[in-house]
Amino acid sequence: MELRTLRYFCTAAEMLHFSRAAEACGVTQPALSHQIKHLEDLIGCRLFVRSSRQVTLTPAGLAFFEHSRLALDTVATAISAAQQAANCSKELRVGVWSHFLLSRILPEVLPRLKKESLGQPISIHEMWGQDLFTALDEGRLDLAIAGEIVPRRGYTMIPLFMEGLVLGVRRDDPLARRQTLSLEELDGMSIAALSRDFPTRLALEQALVTVNAKPVFVAEMSTPETMRNFAIRAGVPLVVPFHAFDGADNMVLVRLVNPTPCRPMMLMTRESTALGDTAQRLIGEIRKSWDALQTH
């Protein structure tokens, strides 16, 4: 039994959606289904019940999921122990899924940490979604930072800061004269947003439910840059994190209020991984830089 197969199974068990699980694992759905079928044949029982409307775990699947996560945790711990024993993990390897952090926060934070001469260099790796968790599982990363708001089994999640979402509009849009916009006013409005694969979208939808507002999502994109270009050309308002387009000359950002939808930026690591001095200082410096931005 390969670790890859266990990861496929655990991802499908967490998401209970084979298409999304396959996308998260970077494989096709038939490939993921084939691996899970092979796993079921190997074990000798069904792990999932699949219908046209939903996917659920069988009692055997639920039991296997509990132990599979423990197995992956044990492997991650073993890799970390081996690297420390061989002294081959000298860098603090940090995966990041956030354009804002990579372009605004970390360029300020890293030179400060280097100046303090903490003794452990930090390497930054830009990664996408599930790739972060796979790299943590395989021992290729020590920490991961992303706007992830769904709790995940086997991971420790530490909040870094909360970033509010705003409505971005063209300068010739009547809404550009507004300072704030009640979330209720989005009801029935045609807007663009990131797809449901993004925590930003989940944070928005959770806030919309509280005021029973139902905007019309006329465009769903996979990158803020693509969404901005589409919104500007089509004249469609878009919902984005506040700092996604901060300083953009061709757009006006209107704050959403009552309530303000927010996404937490989280630092994640395997539960078996202890945070050293450098990691603790990195957390502190990120929070410090974020607080400084809020005062300007």
Name 166's Cβ contacts closer than 8 Å, sequence gap at least 6.
239, 240, 241, 242, 253, 254, 255, 256
Domains of the chain (ranges, CATH numbers): 3-84 (1.10.10.10), 90-159+276-294 (3.40.190.10), 161-263 (3.40.190.290)
Measure the CA–CA gap between 127 and 145, rounded to whole angstroms: 10
Measure the CA–CA gap between 269 and 132, rounded to whole angstroms: 10
Measure the CA–CA gap between 10 and 4, rounded to whole angstroms: 10
pTM over 0.75: no
Provide the 10 A C-beta neighbour count for residue 145: 26
Per-residue pLDDT of the chain (296 residues; tens, 9 = 90+): 788 888 888 888 888 888 888 877 778 888 888 988 988 998 899 999 888 778 899 999 888 988 888 888 788 777 766 655 554 447 889 999 877 788 888 998 988 887 775 567 889 999 877 788 888 888 889 999 987 656 677 788 899 998 889 998 988 899 999 999 999 999 999 998 888 777 788 889 989 999 999 999 998 887 777 877 888 888 889 998 887 766 667 788 899 999 999 888 889 988 777 788 888 899 999 999 998 887 76
Indicate left, alpha or beta for 146 from its phi (over 0: left) and psi (-120 to 50: alpha): beta
Element (H, E) at 61: helix 59-86
Q: Is 227 exposed, middle or buried (0-12, 13-18, 19+ CB in 10 A)?
A: buried
Strand partners, 56: 49
Tokens of 58: 């069988």
Provide the 10 A C-beta neighbour count for residue 281: 18
